[in-house]
Structure 1
C-alpha cells in the first residue's frame, strides 16, 4: 500500500472526523508514537502561534492535517494553502475556512518556486521517511528567499522506520515509511539538502527550527 493510501485508512480518517484519539504510529516491534489528534483539531496554542508569527508572505503547510494553522492564517487575511493526502484532513481544513488540496508534496503544486514559507509541523519532517529528499523537494517549492519552519522530535533521534496508523483498539492501516529527527539530526540533513538553520526555539516542550537557503549552494 502506498503512503497516501495508508494515511487514508479508517483509523486516521475516523480520528480526524471525530477530533479524538487515541491514535498512534506503530512499528512492527510494538513501539508506539502517540499522535496528538485533539491538539491538531483545536485552535492554535502558544507554540503554534510562535510558528505563525514567524511565517512570511505566502505560506504552504505541508501535511496540514485538520487545518488549524492554515485556517488561522486565512482568518488574518494571509495567503495560505494546506496540502495533505487525507481527504478527511482536507475537508476539515476547508470547513474551517482554510484552503487545501488533497495532494502529496512530491506531486506538482501550485505556485512552485514562489512560496515564501513552507511548514513541516507536527512531525511532518518525517513525510516519506527521508528528510533530505523532502527538504530538497522544498528547495524547488519555496522562493529563492523563502524559508522552511520545521518541528523536530524532542529527543536527539535520527530514525527511519516503517509504521502503521493504529487506533489502539485493533484498527490499523498499512505500513509506510516515516522518519523522526531531533534538532542535531535535522541540522545535518538540512545542510545536505542545501539549507542552514537560521533560528531554533522551544516552547511548551515542542522544538522548532527555521531553515534558510544556503547562499552558496545551487539547487539540487
Structure 2
C-alpha cells in the first residue's frame, strides 16, 4: 500500500505534533481538562475492557498512561505503549508497565507479546498507519480475545465540514493547557470505519455510542471486535 505525498506529510505530522504536545496533553488529561473524558468516555472504555474480566491488556497509543493505571488498580495486567518517549517517561513516573513503541514497531513485529484484550483509545489518528496497524493486530491477540477501539463520533466530530473521509486539523481550542502544535488527524465516516475493520479481517461484535450526560449527544463511538479469521478456521 502506497501513500499519496500529502498523506505522507500528514502522517509524519501526527507524530511530530505529539512530541511537541506531550507536556500539555499530560497536564490536560491529569487535570480533567477534557469534559467528555471526565464525564463519560474514560469510564466507558474502562467498563468495556473490564466487562469480560481480562487477564492481560495492551493499550496501544497509551499517552500518559491513565488507562493502564486504572486497569492495574483493578488487578489487570496492563501494558501501555506509545511512540513518544516523553509520554512514556511521564507515564512510567506515575507507575505502571510502559514501553516506547511506535505503530511501525508493532506492524513489523517488534512487540513480542500476546494479550487477551487490545485497546486503542482515541489513538487511531492516521490514514495508512491506522489501516496497516489494524490489519496486523490479530498476531498480538490470544484466541477469543477482543480488540476495543474508542474514537471521536464521526457525526459530532464532522462539525460543519462535509461528511466524507479526509484529513483534519486539531487546533486545541477550548483546552485548558496551551498546546504548542496543531495536530493533523484523519476523519472517517462510520461506514468507513466499519469497512476498514471488515477489510482487515475483523468481526464487528458491537458498536456503542456513549452519550454526553449534559447534551444527550454521542461523546464517542466504540467498536468491539474479534478476529474474524478464527471464525473461518473453526
Question: The TM-score by the shorter chain falls in which range?
Answer: 0.7 to 0.9
Matched, 1:118 2:118: yes
Pick from 47, 50, 55: which aligns with 1:50?
47
Judging changes above 3 Å, is the alpha-carbon distance between structure 1 residues 170 and 102 closer, same or farther for their aligned structure 2 residues? closer
Separation in structure 1 between the aligned mates of residue 166 and residue 232 of structure 2, nearest angstrom: 26
Give secondary structure in 2 for the equivalent of 1:19.
helix
User: With structure 2 as the length reference, what TM-score do the two structures score?
Assistant: 0.69
> Offset at 1:170?
8.7
The runs of 5 or more residues in structure 2 that have no matched partner are: 1-8, 156-162, 212-217
Residue 153 of structure 2 corresponds to 154
Counterpart position of 2:225: 211
Q: Do 2:146 and 2:224's aligned partners in 1 also have CA atoms closer than 8 Å?
A: yes
Find the aligned partners of 2:191 and 2:82 in 1 and give their Cα distance: 27
Partner of 1:15: 24
| Partner residue in 1 for 2:194 | 187
Are residue 171 (structure 1) and residue 185 (structure 2) matched? no
How many residues get paired?
Answer: 196
CA distance in 2, matches of 1:54, 1:92: 28
User: What secondary structure is seen at the aligned counterpart in 1 of 2:95?
Assistant: coil
The 8 Å contact of residues 45 and 150 in structure 2, kept in 1 or not, is answered as no
Q: Distance in 1 between matches of 2:143 and 2:82?
A: 24
**Separation in structure 2 between the aligned mates of residue 93 and residue 170 of structure 1, nearest angstrom:** 19
Distance 2:116 2:73 in 1: 18
* Counterpart Cα distance in 2 of 1:116 and 1:196: 16
SS in 1 for 2:147: strand
Aligned-CA RMSD value: 3.3
Do residues 138 (structure 1) and 137 (structure 2) align?
yes
Q: Report deviation, 1:130.
A: 4.6
Shift of 1:209: 1.3
| Structure with more strand by fraction | 1
Contact 1:115 1:146 survives alignment (8 Å): yes
Mapped partners of 1:211, 1:77: distance in 2: 23
Contact 1:44 1:72 in 2 (8 A): no
Q: Which runs of 5+ in 1 are unaligned?
A: 22-35
Distance 2:111 2:64 in 1: 19
CA shift at 1:162, angstroms?
6.6
Q: Per-residue CA shift, 1:121-144, capped at 9, x if unaligned?
A: 12x232454543221021222223
Cα displacement (A) at 1:187: 1.4
